Amino acid sequence: MRIAYPQSVGDDRILRNGEQLVVCSKADMDEWEVQDKRKTVIYINNEAWRLVGKQFYAKNEVRYMLEPWPDAMREIPGRVIRYGEKYVKSRDEAFKKMRLESWTYPIFYVLSPLIGLLPSPVKSKIESIFGLSARDATLASLFVELLLIFSSVALFVLITATAANRVKDSNMVYIAVLNNVLHEIVLVLILIIDLAIRYSSYLRDDRSPLGAFEWIWSWIYRKKQDL
């Protein structure tokens, strides 16, 4: 029984033109290209077709001309496409994601050093939606954290040297300077530990390495689970 056309598949339309089928779509599908060898076999309604033409029309419409796949054709197909509702839905979702990434990626790329500090589940979610690599963002944040450590050390040395020049015989001044020194040392040590743990997570090829101080919250959570 001959299948009746036209048909609608999502936003696409399938027309019959003699022995040919014409698929009209707003999508320029890269995998639908005319091949001289290893042609692509396209199954529509369980019938095998091959692409023989591709034309661009106004209003962002692309028309794909298909002819029946010859029964006597012994050539091994280069690719098999099963065209239908599931295929069109998957294709449209991929195009939407690509369009979203095209204008959001530059923004997220600039913010990647800050995004890399976020918890690993959040970075993984951002990667799945906007395409920003969680590993690249984490690496950028590691460089920022390293610069922060060097800046803290430099500031610590500067403050200590300045305070030492002003200290005379006052015990109160000595205590104030000592408190500042201890605070700076604790801060630098915490940053170094965090940097080392996060870099270790990055070296383990974790898909979404740890965020800033995430190891602390993970440790607290495990302790609560053990109680």
**CA dist list (Å): 126 to 9, 28, 120, 146, 191:** 31, 27, 10, 24, 25
How is 55-106 classified by DSSP, letter by letter? EEETTTEEEEEEEEPPTT--PPPSEEEEESHHHHHHHHHHHHHHHHHHHHHH
* 180-223 residue pLDDT tens: 777 778 888 999 999 999 999 999 988 899 999 999 888 887 77
Strand order in the sheet with 40-44: 7-9, 12-17, 20-25, 61-68, 47-57, 40-44, 79-83
Question: How high is the pLDDT of residue 182?
Answer: 78
If asked whether residues 167 and 202 sit together in one domain, one would say: yes
Question: How high is the pLDDT of residue 175?
Answer: 62
If asked whether residues 208 and 138 sit together in one domain, one would say: yes
Q: Would you say the pTM of this structure is higher than 0.85?
A: no
Q: Which of 94, 126, 158 is the last residue of a domain?
A: 94
If asked whether residues 130 and 87 sit together in one domain, one would say: no
Question: How high is the pLDDT of residue 16?
Answer: 93
* 27-64 residue pLDDT tens: 999 899 988 888 889 999 999 999 999 999 877 899 99
Q: Does 170 have pLDDT greater than 60?
A: no
* 122-146 residue pLDDT tens: 999 998 888 889 999 999 999 999 9
Any domain includes 102: no
- Domain total of the chain: 2
Residues 91 and 125: their CA atoms lie apart, in Å, by 21
Any domain includes 106: no
Q: Does 169 have pLDDT greater than 60?
A: no
Percent of the chain surpassing pLDDT 90: 47
Question: How high is the pLDDT of residue 124?
Answer: 92
If asked whether residues 72 and 127 sit together in one domain, one would say: no
If asked whether residues 140 and 181 sit together in one domain, one would say: yes
Instruction: Name which residue leads in pLDDT, 8 or 157.
Output: 8
Segments forming the whole domain that contains residue 157: 112-216
CB atoms within 10 A of CB 88: 18
For residues 42 and 66, the answer to whether their CB atoms sit within 8 Å is yes
Which residue, chain included where needed, has tokens 């005379």? 168
Which residue, chain included where needed, has tokens 């200590």? 160
If asked whether residues 52 and 117 sit together in one domain, one would say: no
